[in-house]
């Protein structure tokens, strides 16, 4: 009697393992839509900067007297601003 119960449990265990292997081997195929969704989730939605600082300074050439404007830009962080002044 014990031998039949043990044999039944063994057969049930082997069948369970086989069923899981079949399920996992067929479940690994990702469709094109699933791959596109993963790619869309991986890319950031906001492209740009959070902080933009523009400083414009005027310099005068002592020899010629010409005035030149120089703009220094500092752009940092992730946000929706472009790095334009």
pLDDT tens readout for residues 20-29? 776 665 555 6
Q: Which residue has the tokens 């890319």?
A: 43
pLDDT tens readout for residues 1-14? 777 787 778 877 78
How far is the C-alpha of 1 from the C-alpha of 8, rounded, in Å? Answer: 11
What total of structural domains would you count in the chain? Answer: 2
Q: Which domain covers residue 56, as residue numbers?
A: 45-85
Verify that 39 and 59 share a domain, yes or no: no
Verify that 35 and 56 share a domain, yes or no: no
pTM exceeds cut of 0.85: no
Cβ neighbors of 15 (< 8 A, separation 6 or more) are none
Verify that 6 and 37 share a domain, yes or no: yes
Verify that 61 and 78 share a domain, yes or no: yes
DSSP-derived 3-state class of residue 61: coil
pLDDT tens readout for residues 26-69? 555 667 787 787 777 776 666 777 888 888 888 888 888 899 88
Verify that 26 and 60 share a domain, yes or no: no
Verify that 32 and 60 share a domain, yes or no: no
């Amino acid at each position: 009697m014990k031998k039949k119960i043990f044999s039944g449990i063994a057969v049930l265990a082997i069948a369970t393992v086989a069923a899981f292997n079949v399920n996992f081997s067929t479940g690994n195929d990702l469709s094109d839509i699933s791959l596109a969704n993963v790619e869309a989730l991986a890319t950031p939605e906001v492209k740009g900067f959070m902080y933009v600082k523009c400083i414009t300074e005027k310099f005068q050439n002592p020899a010629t007297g010409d005035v030149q404007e120089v703009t220094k830009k500092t752009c940092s962080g992730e946000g929706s601003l472009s790095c334009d002044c």
